[in-house]
Chain A
């Protein structure tokens, strides 16, 4: 299963902290970040708005990823707003 984590404002607004998806639910493979993002955005308008690439960053297996980064069936994917630490 692909484990999807949400952090910060995304977690609050989408009222979701974790999702598990089977890679077969996501359509054609190989799967990348942009495709997973589009799949999640299709849920509703709120998800569409908050998961767009200008408002959310993606990490795959705890490393910052790009839109083209591949995702495998047992990866940990995280979606979060631009970071504000320090």
Chain B
């Protein structure tokens, strides 16, 4: 698959508005007869500090670098596995508890590549893509810290 072809098969969205799993699934499948596997992941806003009254989350990002970074993560995944379509959406701005925050969808000929690439993209996104979460709660606003487990998850794939 040439890079022109793979570029056309990649969709990156950085947006305030919500996304629809059904619409994303359709975009991965429609007129796509060569791929036998679709894997999707959705991340939701959860209460990070259990016990405190978290009201919502604010997602800041570095416009321009975010899109470039997500594209480069997808290209890295395409270098490791034979993939069909890849769609990555990350929401920004203020989000309420339980709202959808991130979507990764991958189609491939076989399931193994689709599963692995979906996990790889999420692991890299969490440690590389320039997003910052601020928790807005009744006791004040708190910037979230990175977690070592996220670093370890990305490291396990090797550089």
Contacts and interface: CB of A to CB of B under 8 A. Distances in A.
Contact of B132 (A5, A9, A63): A9
B62 A9 contact: no
Given A8-B143, A83-B127, A78 B62 contact: yes
A42 interface: no
Contacts of A7: 60, 62, 130, 132
Nearest to B67: A62
25 contacts: A5-B62, A7-B60, A8-B60, A9-B132, A62-B64, A62-B68, A62-B69, A63-B65, A63-B68, A64-B128, A83-B126, A83-B128, A83-B129, A83-B131, A83-B146, A84-B143, A84-B145, A85-B90, A85-B102, A85-B131, A86-B43, A86-B122, A86-B125, A86-B126, A86-B131
Interface string A71-86: 0000000101111111
Interface of B: 43, 59-62, 64-65, 68-69, 90, 101-102, 122, 125-134, 143-146, 150
* Size bracket of the A interface: 10 to 19
A62 B62 contact: yes
Interface of A: 5, 7-9, 12, 59, 62-64, 78, 80-86
